[in-house]
Amino acid sequence: MENWLSWIYLQQEMIYIVALMILLGIEVIGRVPSVLHTPLMSGANAIHGVVIIGAIIVMGKAEPDNYLALSLGFLAIILGTLNVVGGFVVTDRMLEMFRKKKTDEKK
Amino acid sequence: MELSILSIIYIIGSITFIAGLKMLSDPAHARKGNLIAAGGMGLAIAGTIFLYETEGEKLHNHLWIFAGLAIGGIAGALAAKKVKMTAMPEMVSLFNGMGGACAALISIVEFDRLIKHPFAVSFDAPAALSGGSIAPELISMGHVLIILLGMAIGAISFSGSMVAWAKLNGKLNDYSFKGQHFLNLFILLLIIVGIGAMVLNITGGFHVDAHIEPLSIRVVTAAWIPWLFYGILFLSLAYGIQFVLPIGGADMPVVISLLNSFTGVAAACGGFLYDNKVMLTGGILVGAAGTLLTILMCKAMNRSLINVLVGSFGGQHAAGSAGAQEHGSFKEISVSDAAVVLRYASRVMIVPGYGLAVAQAQHVCHELEKLLTDKGVEVQYAIHPVAGRMPGHMNVLLAEADVSYDKLLEMEQANELFPATDAVLVLGANDVVNPAAKSDPSSPLYGMPILDVELAKMVIVNKRSMKPGYAGIENMLFFQPKTSMLFGDAKSVLQQLVSEIKTL
């Protein structure tokens, strides 16, 4: 019990952020029109690619003889970058089409 | 100094994620929002590489980090640039799986570090020398829980996304067997019990092997710890496969959205591990938003999330289609007759579906729409929220063909207009216009809101054959007297229609 309480105490700032972000995430998405659902899902997909930062930290603090951390960390960086770069590029491609159509309307 | 700059960078990163998601909710600013979030991400990544410090030590192995970034970046950009519009849902699923795998790998490395060096705090030698187990304060149960959650959720997201990707690709078919959902529940239960058991017993899992003469202090990790850890990893991978495998097409968008929010939560676990706020905000934001999106989609289909999670759709549809065997005959219409009907209608509603996407017929479809509009016919599109394989799939597809935004009607608007519509042209849509969703309580689709195309004066359905739709359910709409079938590939049928109408 004490173990848990001290962990919660140490992480209280993070727990605050979690609670607020849950509410914010719901609030922000609540106003998305259904036409934008696919780009939105794709954009959100790219944002959770932020996990790449964890992979960089794993790799960056791996000792030279810790082969498990080195190899898995390297793999994690490749996969995480795929998620980030691929995600943002795909989303941009989808949205590009929305914009093209917008300018057409103005003409 | 550098650490303060890094924390400012992380704050900027978090704000760009929030602002980006917010702007993605508005068609006019969506693209900018995406770019802003991407910029924030780039900044956070660069800041981490150059400024991050842990216990006064900078990160090293820069060469490896840049090599990994280069490989992943080039491969990701190429794949995303080359993918066809119709294959977009698969691609999102694939990238999502990569993120999940990344989170799982981080947890595996951190777990390995934990069992090799369980002392975050230096422990006092005399207590250790007495040979007892390590004092419970030394290992935080919360920390272990976060590692396990990140690993399990990341692994489920990875294997589930891979299955979803392969299924959308056509590489894998639906596969279900009797009692599958009980097996799924059982696996899930095992994962939860495994995680619980490990967290609660972790403090007893380490023993100190200490001798005074000669002086040696060694930490011995109980053998069950790594076994249980890799057991949970294996079960999580199996669960991801098991839970996506039996789910049919109608549920695929929900599943991808759900897995997307899973990966968000797994990324947030990484934020806890490294006390990294940008990972936490990004992950939780996506986790919450993705969950809401999933629930909205479930509601649109009148399913509960639990129902989707357990994957019971596959089990039900066998019974559903068997019950609908007795059906009448259907009538066919020729292309020239269909052309006449469309040309002389005053209002035409086009209902696009996955068939349109497969045939890549969106441009011809737009051509037909322009042609009819020029001839004085009012043409609009009725978009069902789950038409295609992803919510908004049809909007993206039609946007590619430059179809004007205000011609796309949402389901409620379209349903109001159907009674005043002369002809409905259904292009490769099936389940979203199935009246069984309203009339047949035994149908698995029962309760799902549909487009009421039967209210229109005439319905022309373009399909390649009489085979049931992706969800495997017969559609009684096709056998109604109002309905005429126009068989053929959507693209060639539309091309023929366009040339026929031009001659009228």
Domain boundaries, chain A: 1-31, 35-106
Which pLDDT does position B293 carry in this prediction?
A: 83
Query: A70: part of which helix (H) or strand (E)?
Result: helix A67-81
Does B31 lie in the same domain as B7? yes
The tens place of each residue's pLDDT in chain A, 107 residues long, gives 777 888 888 889 999 999 999 999 998 887 677 667 788 889 999 999 999 999 999 999 888 888 999 999 999 999 999 999 999 999 998 887 765 544 444 43
Does B376 lie in the same domain as B293? no
**Cβ contact A48–B383 (<8 Å):** no
Of B277, B311, B345, the domain-final residue: B311
Which pLDDT does position B316 carry in this prediction?
A: 44
Which pLDDT does position B129 carry in this prediction?
A: 54
Examine residue B374 and state whether it is found in any structural domain, yes or no. yes
Which pLDDT does position B324 carry in this prediction?
A: 44
Phi and psi for A105 in degrees, rounded to 5? Answer: -65, -35
Q: Give the mean model confidence (pLDDT) for residues B97-102.
A: 96
**Cβ contact B65–A60 (<8 Å):** yes
Per-residue pLDDT band at B108 (split at 50, 70, 90)? very high
What is the value of pTM for the model shown?
0.81
Examine residue B318 and state whether it is found in any structural domain, yes or no. no
Q: Which residues of A touch B392 (CB under 8 A)?
A: 34-41
Taking CA–CA distances from B409, the nearest residue in chain A reads: A35
- B499 CA to chain A: closest CA distance, Å? 25
Does B122 lie in the same domain as B47? no
- B333 CA to chain A: closest CA distance, Å? 32
Query: The CATH number of the domain where B404 resides is what?
Result: 3.40.50.1220
Per-residue pLDDT band at B295 (split at 50, 70, 90)? confident
Examine residue B317 and state whether it is found in any structural domain, yes or no. no
What gap in Å lies between CA B386 and CA B300, rounded to an integer?
8
How would DSSP label each residue in B371-415? HHHHTT-EEEEEE-TT-TTSTTHHHHHHHHTT--GGGEEEHHHHH
User: In this predicted complex, what is the ipTM?
Assistant: 0.91
- A99 CA to chain B: closest CA distance, Å? 7
Q: What angle (nearest 5°) sits at the alpha carbon of residue B371, between those of residues B368 and B375?
A: 135
Catalytic residue from among B251, B402, B431, B489? B431
Q: In this model, does residue B297 exceed pLDDT 70?
A: yes
Q: Considering its fold, how many domains does chain B have in total?
A: 3
Greater confidence, B392 or B417? B417
Does B335 lie in the same domain as B284? no
DSSP3 helix / strand / coil % (chain B, rounded to 5): 65, 10, 25
Q: Which residues of A touch B20 (CB under 8 A)?
A: 43, 47
Q: Catalytic residue at B431?
A: yes
Which pLDDT does position B37 carry in this prediction?
A: 96
Of B72, B83, B279, the CB nearest to A77: B72
% pLDDT > 90, chain B: 44
Per-residue pLDDT band at B328 (split at 50, 70, 90)? low
Q: Which residues of B touch A76 (CB under 8 A)?
A: 101-102, 105-106, 109
Does B96 lie in the same domain as B40? no
Does B453 lie in the same domain as B388? yes
**Cβ contact A78–B71 (<8 Å):** yes
Q: Domain range holding B475?
A: 326-503
Examine residue B319 and state whether it is found in any structural domain, yes or no. no
Does B129 lie in the same domain as B37? no
Cβ of residue A15 closer than 8 Å to a chain B Cβ: no
Phi and psi for B370 in degrees, rounded to 5? Answer: -65, -45
Q: Looking at this protein, which amino acid is placed at residue A29?
A: I
Examine residue B353 and state whether it is found in any structural domain, yes or no. yes
Which pLDDT does position B314 carry in this prediction?
A: 43
